[in-house]
Structure 1
């Protein structure tokens, strides 16, 4: 006999005002008080989001419609008492942010992130769940989700975790699908797109999606064993959403304000590549620190440099191998990430593991007090991506045909496919096994558990990529400026150790003249220092809190790098390495 299921129903009669009406029935309750909660977190996110703030008009009855007592022990919970084993609860949900974390309801769609939509009973988390989505037939809505279809608008999840991990798009979307075979089994890859574009644009876009899927499958040698044999992209490319991407076990949310006709054919493909790669790396190759996922507290992990960062490294690489971008475009794009990490003063405060610990404060987290992240934080996405680059090129320099692809396959077979959660030390042991104990220990000691930088010049040039500092003699201030109304305003804290920092300039200061030359109306941040070179001492007049002040600073040197693909004739070994690295599989 199967377990008693929790039953949900959601409908949208007041979608124009961003409201849904939700009801839920809980049967076979064993405790006198049923505790119901709205989650404070969402799978794939690490910060708190307080979804209870958008729930109101809560009512509870028993199986006969008799009102039950509802009390609030904390801001996120409703306690229902006086029942005889059955509770029916109803409430109104307000939802108006379409992205990977929140829900959005309007007359274009019901874009539902489950933790932001449904109350849950934490004491009964292993019970199956059935949900009845009631689309607006007058708006031609239909349902796309990774939940198991039961027919008649009914869908099921085996337990709370799977339910919470199953975003749902209800709209007049277009659907495309194709089949991909892995280990003798066929999987259906579905792409549900809610957009205002044409079928022809979607058909063109699907060619890129298919190529990305094929290249990512080649990295691991196989697809994950998707539940119910299906993987679903849930894409909303509409003006009313917020740009985002969010991975789930057998689906992903993709939101963008860029239509396919307005740059989305290429620019939105990066999110497709990133989130689909997560089907292996983070959904199944999963940090132990995220198991089990906590719906009431922030989820902290020290492995995000790998889970998110290595996925970010593969994002651009997959676009390159799939032919969505050229090898030149991919290589040109490496410079931004390398400059950000190499030249950041934050490395002296935190290593990649500790940067990962910051996720609850930076991953779509909300705060109102100023922070000093310009000097103390490097995104674990970017930090991890440049470590992935270094590890890939380092392995390709070794004998035996090693590569990051091969290492990811090893980690997949050891931890991902059997779904054994890993730690950072597990990754180190895996690298020692794959590439040798000495190499594995040294890589983790220097670059993961410390903040040293690999020799990127040597690594990149071994693959025919020039890594240079063309502006080394140019003057550098070390501050982001907004030039308007004859003043250059510091819009962020200056970089620690820079000329602006050493001279005592701070965020909010308005520079009015440099070296006796007033800031002109048509000045821009790039030409303000054009008359100077590094090492020059200049007088700077500025305003702080409306008061005129003066300082003298010694201009620093532009330390930014460029990455340039060498397009001449390459030595055979270099050419082979570059093709193995960047070429399609």
Structure 2
């Protein structure tokens, strides 16, 4: 299988793809994936394909489309078959493909047709330099970054790469352009970091330094100090590539076997001569970026190595269901910031602030009371990735609640102990790696991970069953014992009055008016009859000491309500819905009716024992 990729038209954002199948079957079928691993939504990548044609030698052969993403070719068997097609690429995300005169990027799932019956043969990818560099008189020639194995490439990285099979081919995205590039070694493993879209103020050396600390901390977490080549457990990658796209407004990442694609706000990059102690906004943004780097790198082990048994072999034609995303995404979300603390990139107060944010996000989501985190994992395809105004009432994020399940399990294990020996979630993760991902584990036929594996490891390490906790925390909707466990580890929980929007049960936009985005179930706004899409225009307040008659006020931001309501217990809200005006009777909740959590350090010794310092 050989794919030749070129820029068919930079301004039309078209890649040209030539696929040569050396030994096709008669009436060979080809298809394009409908989703990409790590992003659990059917995205219909085939809708961007145009102009597909085929030849065998000099003879044109017919191509018939069978469904939304599958084609049959009227070809003979064992005679080389060549297909030509173009792919429109103008999605500036980490999931699909992008092509302009300034930058190129793609995942194989967006460009590379899969040949039925040939997924396990070697696949080659050829990137044609001339089509990217010569057509536009570039100020600087483009370079290439990818985790694929180079076979014959030039100094810029253009040329031919090889993958063992289709899965590897589409799990190694490609970044192209005149990007910034740097490298470092972590535990002896070569890491490359490329950044597109950076400004002259970008401090690349600081990013490399901090990323190196993250990678070394993660490798030590999984493999101790031995690093690659350890007899006990070798790292899963020989090299690694970070591909970061810095944009005006964006955030996200997608993990791959030996690389990751990232996107961040350009303003969040570290800056030359930047004193973050004086610039809280920069510090918070950069910390968020480091957390993203930590998250995606941790996935090298937890989802790429350890993976749900249902993902042992991806089916790219349809949804792949699992109830374990709470573990693979949630536990990774627990460790991403925790490893920043262990790497010395944030302090205790910063870590607790990040954890505090996650806790409040979950506590302010009514969906946690009706949707377990296991159900949330299974229904990610339709609920998490296809959110609407009512989503907070229907589901809970397997990222955030999964992280809190990991927190509860970690803190519970540390309290439990075994014969004066401390046990932690760290031990569980490493034991699962040895059980499921090493030769010893495979010899036992254990293979990819199931929930039963997690429970078995927990019982081996502690001598008791953790099924009751899993029933309550993972498969149930009861509140997690967060406050009790945090208190036992030196963290005090303060209950502060909630912000007005949370007390009312609203999520709003407030640019020039109060636009209702979400109404939370059971809230005061819900009982009053507010609905997503309403515009809140004003309030009418009954007479009081300073105004004997009812008064009506225009509001432009939510806090105006406190100004105009005074001590009133109820107001009449004037809203616009479908250009019709309605009055709603709103009972104003007491300031103490809802609260937000604020974590503070109570016992530094206990906290540091937990954080692993």
Is this contact kept in 1: 2:55–2:61, CA < 8 A?
Answer: yes
Aligned position for 2:145? 144
Task: Quote the offset at 1:451 in angstroms.
Answer: 1.7
Give the 3-state SS of the residue equivalent to 1:547 in structure 2: strand
Task: Quote the offset at 1:200 in angstroms.
Answer: 6.8
Aligned position for 1:380? 398
**Alignment partner of 1:103 is 2:105:** no
Give the 3-state SS of the residue equivalent to 2:42 in structure 1: coil
Aligned position for 1:422? 449
**Alignment partner of 1:406 is 2:427:** yes
Decide whether aligned partners of structure 1 residues 103 and 372 sit closer, same or farther in structure 2, where only a CA change above 3 A counts: same
Work out the CA distance in 1 between the residues paired with 2:260 and 2:235: 13
Give the 3-state SS of the residue equivalent to 1:500 in structure 2: helix
Give the 3-state SS of the residue equivalent to 2:595 in structure 1: coil
Decide whether aligned partners of structure 1 residues 339 and 199 sit closer, same or farther in structure 2, where only a CA change above 3 A counts: closer
Aligned position for 1:74? 67
Q: What is the CA RMSD across the aligned residues, in angstroms?
A: 2.7
Task: Quote the offset at 1:117 in angstroms.
Answer: 1.2
Aligned position for 2:473? 447
Residues 70-93 of structure 1: CA deviation (Å, up to 9, x unaligned): 111112122111335221011111
TM-score when normalising by structure 1: 0.89
Decide whether aligned partners of structure 1 residues 335 and 575 sit closer, same or farther in structure 2, where only a CA change above 3 A counts: closer
Task: Quote the offset at 1:98 in angstroms.
Answer: 2.8
Work out the CA distance in 1 between the residues paired with 2:107 and 2:430: 31
Superposed counterparts of 1:67-466, under 5 Å:
67-84=60-77, 85-135=79-129, 136-138=132-134, 139=138, 140-152=141-153, 153-181=159-187, 186-198=188-200, 201-222=203-224, 225=234, 229-239=238-248, 242-259=250-267, 260-261=269-270, 263=282, 265-362=286-383, 364-365=385-386, 372-399=390-417, 400-417=421-438, 418=441, 420-438=447-465, 440-466=466-492
Is this contact kept in 2: 1:396–1:577, CA < 8 A?
Answer: no
Residues 267-309 of structure 1: CA deviation (Å, up to 9, x unaligned): 3212110000001111111111222111110122210011001
Residues 125-162 of structure 1: CA deviation (Å, up to 9, x unaligned): 11110111113344411221111110131100111111
Is this contact kept in 2: 1:205–1:265, CA < 8 A?
Answer: no
Work out the CA distance in 2 between the residues paired with 1:155 and 1:473: 54
Q: Which moved more, 1:356-365 or 1:269-278?
A: 356-365
Residues 92-148 of structure 1: CA deviation (Å, up to 9, x unaligned): 111011322111011122201110111120221111101111133444112211111
Residues 341-392 of structure 1: CA deviation (Å, up to 9, x unaligned): 2343213322110011121124555x8xx56212011111011011111122
Work out the CA distance in 1 between the residues paired with 2:494 and 2:239: 46
Work out the CA distance in 1 between the residues paired with 2:290 and 2:184: 17
Work out the CA distance in 1 between the residues paired with 2:333 and 2:18: 39
Aligned position for 1:581? 610
Work out the CA distance in 2 between the residues paired with 1:508 and 1:408: 44
Q: Which moved more, 1:150-159 or 1:470-479?
A: 470-479
Residues 480-507 of structure 1: CA deviation (Å, up to 9, x unaligned): 234466x633222x11111111222222
Work out the CA distance in 1 between the residues paired with 2:433 and 2:19: 39
Decide whether aligned partners of structure 1 residues 362 and 167 sit closer, same or farther in structure 2, where only a CA change above 3 A counts: farther
Is this contact kept in 1: 2:145–2:176, CA < 8 A?
Answer: yes
Work out the CA distance in 1 between the residues paired with 2:504 and 2:192: 50
Is this contact kept in 2: 1:473–1:533, CA < 8 A?
Answer: no
Aligned position for 2:230? none
Residues 502-554 of structure 1: CA deviation (Å, up to 9, x unaligned): 22222233332053454445x53245246879994444343433133232425
Match of 1:7 among 2, 12, 21: 2
Task: Quote the offset at 1:227 in angstroms.
Answer: 6.2
Work out the CA distance in 1 between the residues paired with 2:169 and 2:253: 19
Is this contact kept in 2: 1:533–1:555, CA < 8 A?
Answer: no
Q: Which moved more, 1:502-511 or 1:162-171?
A: 502-511
Aligned position for 1:19? 14
Work out the CA distance in 2 between the residues paired with 1:318 and 1:188: 20
Work out the CA distance in 1 between the residues paired with 2:91 and 2:412: 43
Aligned position for 2:581? 547
Work out the CA distance in 2 between the residues paired with 1:527 and 1:319: 40
Structure 2, unaligned runs of 5 or more: 154-158, 228-232, 272-281, 543-550
Aligned position for 1:3? none
Task: Quote the offset at 1:50 in angstroms.
Answer: 0.8
Give the 3-state SS of the residue equivalent to 1:40 in structure 2: coil
Task: Quote the offset at 1:472 in angstroms.
Answer: 7.0
Work out the CA distance in 2 between the residues paired with 1:227 and 1:491: 44
Alignment size in residue pairs: 559
Give the 3-state SS of the residue equivalent to 1:405 in structure 2: helix
Work out the CA distance in 2 between the residues paired with 1:362 and 1:113: 24
Decide whether aligned partners of structure 1 residues 82 and 488 sit closer, same or farther in structure 2, where only a CA change above 3 A counts: closer
Work out the CA distance in 2 between the residues paired with 1:98 and 1:544: 34
Work out the CA distance in 1 between the residues paired with 2:42 and 2:587: 42
